[in-house]
Amino acid sequence: MTSTYRRFFVLFLLLLLAGCASEPVIHPSKPNPTDIGRVPDYIEVRPIVGIYANQPAVTVFVQHMVHDYGFSEDYLNSLFSQANKLDSVLRLEVDPQVPPKPKYQGAVSPVPVVPPKPKPTLGWSSYRKQFMDDAHINNGVNFWRANAEALQRASATYHVDPEYIVGIIGVETYFGRNVGKTNTFDALSTLSFFTLRRAEYFTKELENFLLMAKEENYEPRKVIGSWAGALGLGQFMPKSFRKLAVDFNGDGKRDLWNSEDAIGSVAHYFSNSGWKFNQLVATPINGDIDAEYIILGTDNGNDFWAVGDNFKTIKKYNSSNKYAMAVHQLGQSIKQRYLSMK
């Protein structure tokens, strides 16, 4: 072997050994999700199947929850694939297919609007009978006795008269006996995507429900409430739950199906809405009317009631005059019987 050939052979061996000693360059075929901050494109998202499949409004909602709140698209698609359209809910919603009224776009008048004189709210007698009976009053007394410490503490903490906390829970759920039997995710999905008149409102509540479930570690398909999505003893809608529900028993979670948390949350709701402790709610009047008043139509004519700011606060819970008066009268009747039996 010539010296020139030998030199080339040695150089070849040295290059070969150097190549074997160096680390190989690895080109990954799939990106690491942590490197790009999103779910990689190669992960297949299962589509929605069932009644909510191929609905543009549902698709828009899912993408909104994914992009704005970080939900998994696959997780949400799975929830909607399991969801049902509830005809029973549609039958209870008033005029579900009537389009919403267009929002007023004109200029706001600088002249104060004089409110019209009150007109009678009809049907008070039959409405009152649903709540003003011995069963409601006695069960209210028992509820007060069982939760006296929580009611006293809620009243002191939030400066809300305890009889109105009891009155709300009595009218809403018969002191926890009627908290609802409807799957909340199904109810809100039905009202969001199969109605027109209040679809925007219920879609926002569905959004808040999913956020609430995430924050409180609830399984969305296991939560049960009213046909309209109201929850717990106080029947809070999800948006109100997130804003106003409190952990009043200190166990680390907000549970409106627990009487103590429900009492604290109702008191917090009233306090946040402007309740004034030990101030006028409503009082019957006759003759000259020199105050804000309402008229309730009864089987025997009209009842006239002067109402205070606290009556308006109750109406923030439910805007019906009949509802607010039922809470007032039931709360007062329970208080009277409770105090008489102490």
Kindly report the pTM of this predicted structure. 0.83
Mean pLDDT of the chain: 88
Inside any domain, residue 61: yes
**What is the structure's pLDDT at 19?**
45
Task: State the pLDDT confidence band at 173, using cuts at 50, 70 and 90.
Answer: very high
Inside any domain, residue 59: yes
Least confident of 36-50, 61-75, 219-233, 241-255: 36-50
Q: Per-residue pLDDT tens for 23-51?
A: 333 233 223 333 323 444 445 789 999 99
Task: State the pLDDT confidence band at 106, using cuts at 50, 70 and 90.
Answer: low
If one compares 32 and 78, the residue with the highest pLDDT of the two is 78
Inside any domain, residue 75: yes
Q: Which residues are catalytic?
A: 172
How many domains does the structure of the chain reveal? 1
Residues in Cβ contact with 185 at an 8 Å cutoff, skipping those fewer than 6 apart = 79, 83, 206, 209, 220, 221, 223
Instruction: With residue 269 as reference, give the H or E element that holds it.
Output: helix 259-272
Task: State the pLDDT confidence band at 127, using cuts at 50, 70 and 90.
Answer: very high
In angstroms, the CA 182 to CA 190 distance is 12
Residue 297, φ and ψ in degrees, nearest 5? -80, 125
What average pLDDT score do residues 214-230 get?
Answer: 97
Distance of CA 217 to the CA centre of its chain: 15
Inside any domain, residue 290: no
Task: Note down the domain range covering 63.
Answer: 46-82
Percentage of residues of the chain with pLDDT beyond 70: 83
If one compares 27 and 69, the residue with the highest pLDDT of the two is 69
Q: Per-residue pLDDT tens for 6-20?
A: 544 444 444 444 444
Helix 162-173 to helix 148-158 angle (10° resolution) is 120
